[in-house]
Amino acid sequence: MGYKYKSIMDIMEMINRGDIYLPAIQRNFVWDPWQIESLFDSIMRGYPIGTFIFWYISKAEADKYIFYKFIQNYHDRDNNLNEIAPHPELKDNIIGVLDGQQRLNSMYVALQGTYAYKNPHARWDDDKAFPKRKLYINLFKKEEPTEEETEIDSKEEEQNFLYEFKLLTDNESKEINDNKLWFSVREVLKWEGDPSLNIDRYYDSLLDKEDINKSLKDIIEQRRDQVKQMLRILYRCIVEDKLISYYQVKEQELDDVLDIFIRVNSYGKPLTKTNLLLATIVAIWKDGRDEIESFIKHLNQKGDNSFYFDNDFVMRACLVLTDCPILFKVKGFRADKIEKIRDEWEEIKSAIDKTVDLIVKFGFDGKTLTSQNAIIPIAYYIKKGGDVKGSVDDIKKYLIHALLKQIYGGQGDKVLSDIRDVIGDMIKSDGKFSFNRLLNKKLPGNKSLMMADKEISEILEYEKGPYTFMVLSLLYPNLKFEQVKFHQDHIHPESLFTEAKLKSHGIPQELWGDYISKANKLPNLQLMEGTENEQKNGTTLEEWLNGKDKYGKPYVADVQKFKMDNYIPPEASTNFKDFLDFYNQRKNLLKEHIEKILTQ
């Protein structure tokens, strides 16, 4: 089937009649004023404005999905989302726009509605900051702008407009001088009969205006041909020429239409995967977008520090928790799966919510949770009714092993699928979360949760960051992260590892590089209460263990217990001069404990 053609006016009338709507797989209207103005400049210049794809669908099929109306009166604050079209108002046959929504809605706002954006530097809560604007063309526009006229928005500069279109308030549009004569673009849609007669009437009305002085009348008369020529071009482009080139799609099933939609959005500036997935969900589940975005906001506010969960995380979790194939592509979100997600949404939310609460107790936040996928199996276990209370230690071991081993990097969907299968077997047996069963599972890409000696040696070389926190959280299993904020603290203060400080402490220059390279690594790190760490600050280890505060109270009440709790070899020297020996002794001690924890 070839392309068909209609004029812009034809399309505007079809939208007004309720013939054309926007399927929910489309984004909301997002174009800025300069983009609308640029579009009309292209129309006037005869530039291609792209083809359109229209989905011809019967009411019986349309009733299965969600459609939106075109925005007519856009308002930055109060009316920036497309309104859902009630099914009863849909005709027996309608058209859904699969490609070209932003262009068509821009034309509709410009020719049938208004665009209210906030005035610069105004307050968002000030109603007067959003005046209604309509689209005008400057009939006095020079072909080559002056240097002063080019001092405009950078985006507009890149467009290199030939015709000057502007969204203006009523007052702004009344300004007339030797450089400006504004004409409301939508007026050409009202003309009936011979356009030449309408153009002549408009021109004569300019000369009859009482507020036009003689000098302006002279200018209007001098530019008579220019004014009439621009109006003829405008009328032809909007009313006469069939500039809307469109392709008809008559498939009725959403899956077939999605295939077309995805293919179309693979070129140019495509929708992000997240937007495509969300749009696909909304096509079936009316409240899906709001539910997901509200839930994400709720999750990200948990704990002392923010998390960074996003739409991708929630939608992948939805597939896992509903036992759907974990194909994280738009094609994986078919109608039956979306309906299943919608029906189980409250259970899904509850499981993820409890999972995030649990990892907060483990001490994780947005910075230390290096893979969001790693917590999805925990949520699956919770949704299936697993015994969380009796499995906390094993769940924590799984999570930290999964993060340290980075098992979800590459082939992550396949890894999730395999781990889900193992957890499903746990639920069917005794309901206990068994870390050992996961430990023995061979995963895609030759991955596993097992820690080899070489990997433990590499862990000991980690520098302060998310991964050192994970290891330390295993070494300090009794800390109540949900009650007290803990910091990763340098045992020998980080502030000592500068050339100036090393020199002042009598450290031989040839050892400076060795000192500095080891300062931030795991053997010089411990977990300490935030308030205590702030008190310790730059205090040397030896002074901290043996000194007193300004009130005469010892910094450390029980030195031997402090050393034991923090894996400090009891006989190791705590003098900064002996840091390298201290580092090696603690490294060996940590290795013994880490091996017991990570390999048992």
Question: Which comes out higher in pLDDT, residue 419 or 290?
Answer: 419
What band does 529 get if pLDDT is binned at 50, 70 and 90?
confident
Mean pLDDT for 407-415 is 84
**pLDDT exceeds cutoff 50 at 268:** no
Render pLDDT for 137-187 as a digit per residue (tens, 0 to 9).
999 985 544 444 444 444 444 457 889 999 999 999 988 888 899 999 999
Residue pointed to by tokens 């003829």: 232
As a whole-number percent, the residues of the chain with pLDDT over 90 amount to: 52
pLDDT at residue 524, as a whole number: 94
pLDDT at 147: 47
Question: What pLDDT, on the 0 to 100 scale, is given for residue 152?
Answer: 40
% of the chain with per-residue pLDDT over 70: 88
pLDDT at 30: 84
* Cα 337 from Cα 214, distance rounded (Å): 72
Q: Residue 267: pLDDT above 60?
A: no
Local structure of residue 521 (DSSP, 8 states): B
Question: Looking at residue 316, what is its pLDDT?
Answer: 87
Mean pLDDT of 301-306: 82
Tell the residue number behind the tokens 């709507």, with chain if given: 21
| pLDDT(257) > 70 | no
Supply the pLDDT for residue 259.
63
3-state secondary structure of 42: helix
Amino acid 151: pLDDT: 44
173 or 25: whose pLDDT is higher?
173
Q: What is the pLDDT of residues 348-403, one digit of tens each?
A: 999 999 999 999 999 899 989 999 999 999 999 999 999 999 999 999 999 999 99
Residues 6+ apart with CB under 8 A from 192: 198
List pLDDT tens digits, range 442-454: 888 888 899 888 9
pLDDT of 533 over the 90 cut: no
Average pLDDT, the chain: 86
- Distance of alpha carbon 36 from alpha carbon 29, whole angstroms: 12
pLDDT for the residue numbered 262: 59
What is the pLDDT at residue 154? 41
Which phi and psi angles does 310 have, rounded to 5°? -140, -175
Mean per-residue pLDDT for 269-298?
73
Separation CA 125–CA 188 (nearest Å)? 36
Spell out the alpha helix ranges (H) of 476-539.
Answer: 499-504, 512-518, 530-536
pLDDT of 329: 60
pLDDT at 423 over 50: yes
pLDDT at position 157, please? 42
pLDDT at 86: 86
By the 8 A CB rule, do 258 and 65 touch? no
Q: Alpha-carbon distance 415 to 409, whole Å?
A: 9
Query: Does residue 241 carry a pLDDT above 90?
Result: yes
For 320-372, give the secondary structure using H, E and C: HHCCCCCCCCHHHCCHHHHHHHHHCHHHHHHHHHHHHHHHHHCCCCCCCCCCH
Q: Is the pLDDT of residue 561 over 70?
A: yes
| pLDDT, tens only, 184-214 | 999 999 999 899 999 999 988 888 887 778 8
